[in-house]
Amino acid sequence: MLRRPFTLSLVALGLALPGLMATAPAYGDAISDAMAEVQKYAGQKTVWDGPTAGPTAMADQKIVVLAADMKNGGILGVTNGIEEAAAKIGWQVTVLDGAGSIQSRAAAFGQALALQPDGIIINGFDAVEQQAALKQACDAGIPMVSWHAGPVIGPDPANCLFANVSTDAMEVSAAAAKWAFADAGGKPGVVIFTDSTYAIAIAKADKIKETIESLGGTVLEYVDTPIADTSNRMPTLTTALLQKYGASWTHALAINDIYFDFMGPSLASAGIAGDGAPKAVAAGDGSESAYQRIRSSQYQAVTVAEPLNLQGWQLIDELNRAVSKVEWSGYTSPLHVVTKDNISFDGGDQNIFDPGNGYREAYAKIWGK
């Protein structure tokens, strides 16, 4: 009976101190290390680090862009870049909208094949979803490049893709998770949103989960809900999660911005301020609406943006390399952690991440334009 309080007092007064002295700096270091990792992606991008040589423009090419869903800000941003670059290189572009469903994308792919284009760009859907159509295009000798068509960056011969263009999705996911960890003072309670329709979405969400847990944070829930149905599902889902987790839910992490397009009203109805918790952190793509929410502190704190317009130019460059029978460029485009503190530069005034690194001039020079 006498030993228990005596032992507790020793722990409180002294025996625990060496452990605390050892772990407290390490704990603090984990937070500062996480934020240091994030900060290296937050600076201005002023120097072109992409290709400087390649084939001149192949003349008179007619290409088709198969867009997964033009309501998706990332896909729209890439499509805009493709059209801008195609105008510079002198190609004709037809954009077909898959309208957010597998069936519509299959129909669009059928239309694309009927047009007998010189090249196809797959924009924002998983290659394995349309394997039969991919094989048809491959058998017909139509070169294909893609944006976010799977976890592989660069050549994906298994899916007959000359190059899949993306930032490093695992770096994007880790950066988002580390920002949340540091922002929560090392004690985040995280809900992750993803869509198992897409292999890349699951890979990104798994990396977020792995990073949070390896740092010592808590993943409260891993939510699989379709991107195409976020407008219907997210309001009620947000309310249910607030009721379930309350103040322990500090951060919402999603594989892209579109999930947060529909969270704000539910958070506001619960009396949560625009800059309150749970704070929304997106591991891609840097949509216009995300920039607007971050700038106004209205229910989104961070997006890890991809240079969507630049990636559109890269897709045209990669397709020009494909039709010219040379290797892909080997380029992986930079990511950018966007917060209210750095939103004003690298295209932020136009609500996009558009790095001021001279990529347009660099590609035009390669193409002889």
Within this chain, do residues 201 and 121 fall inside the same structural domain, yes or no? no
> Span 169-196, mean pLDDT?
96
Into how many domains does the chain fold?
2
Within this chain, do residues 317 and 220 fall inside the same structural domain, yes or no? no
Last residue in a domain, options 305, 323, 350: 305
In a domain? residue 14: no
Within this chain, do residues 228 and 264 fall inside the same structural domain, yes or no? yes
**Does residue 168 have a cis peptide bond before it, meaning omega lies within 30 degrees of 0?**
no
In a domain? residue 124: yes
Q: What percentage of the chain carries pLDDT values higher than 90?
A: 83
Q: Report helix, strand or coil for 146.
A: strand
Within this chain, do residues 202 and 265 fall inside the same structural domain, yes or no? yes
Please check the confidence at residue 204 and state whether its pLDDT lies above 50: yes
Which residues, at least 6 apart from 326, have a Cβ–Cβ distance to it below 8 Å? 54, 55
Domain range for 131 is 62-167+308-333+358-367
**Per-residue model confidence (pLDDT) at position 316:** 98
Of 224, 198, 159, residue with least CA distance to 72: 198
> Span 273-283, mean pLDDT?
98
> Span 109-137, mean pLDDT?
95
Q: How many Cα neighbours within 13 Å face the side chain of 240?
A: 7
pLDDT band at 2 (very low <50, low <70, confident <90, very high): very low
In a domain? residue 350: no
In angstroms, the CA 311 to CA 300 distance is 24
In a domain? residue 12: no
Q: Which two tokens stand for residue 296?
A: 């106004």
Q: What percentage of the chain carries pLDDT values higher than 70?
A: 92
Within this chain, do residues 88 and 98 fall inside the same structural domain, yes or no? yes
CB 256 within 8 A of CB 75: no
Please check the confidence at residue 23 and state whether its pLDDT lies above 70: no
pLDDT per position as a tens digit, 138-160: 999 999 999 999 888 999 999 99
Strands 336-338, 302-305: parallel, antiparallel or unpaired by DSSP? antiparallel
In a domain? residue 207: yes
DSSP per residue, 154-200:
EEEGGGTEEEEE---HHHHHHHHHHHHHHHTTT--EEEEEE-TT-HH
Within this chain, do residues 188 and 287 fall inside the same structural domain, yes or no? yes
Within this chain, do residues 326 and 255 fall inside the same structural domain, yes or no? no
Please check the confidence at residue 18 and state whether its pLDDT lies above 60: no
Query: Pick the residue with more confidence: 285 or 104?
Result: 104
In a domain? residue 57: no
Within this chain, do residues 191 and 292 fall inside the same structural domain, yes or no? yes
**Per-residue model confidence (pLDDT) at position 198:** 86
CATH number (domain holding residue 208):
3.40.50.2300
Of 364, 361, 250, 345, residue with least CA distance to 305: 345
- Report the 10 Å Cβ neighbour count for 318: 28
In a domain? residue 193: yes
| CA distance to 67, 125, 182, 314, per residue, from 99 (Å) | 8, 11, 38, 24
Fill in the amino acid letter for 209: K
Fill in the amino acid letter for 38: V
DSSP per residue, 32-43:
HHHHHHHHTTSS
**Per-residue model confidence (pLDDT) at position 73:** 83
**Per-residue model confidence (pLDDT) at position 17:** 31
Of 278, 291, 159, residue with least CA distance to 218: 278
Please check the confidence at residue 129 and state whether its pLDDT lies above 50: yes
Within this chain, do residues 208 and 283 fall inside the same structural domain, yes or no? yes
In a domain? residue 114: yes
pLDDT band at 22 (very low <50, low <70, confident <90, very high): very low
Distance of alpha carbon 238 from the chain centroid:
21
> Span 271-294, mean pLDDT?
95
Query: b/e for 183-203, b at 16 or more Cβ within 10 A?
Result: bbeeebbbbbbbbebbbbbbb
**Does residue 151 have a cis peptide bond before it, meaning omega lies within 30 degrees of 0?**
no
DSSP per residue, 4-16:
HHHHHHHIIIIIH
Within this chain, do residues 285 and 159 fall inside the same structural domain, yes or no? no
Within this chain, do residues 213 and 261 fall inside the same structural domain, yes or no? yes
Instruction: Write down the mean pLDDT value for the chain.
Output: 91
> Span 10-19, mean pLDDT?
31
Within this chain, do residues 320 and 222 fall inside the same structural domain, yes or no? no
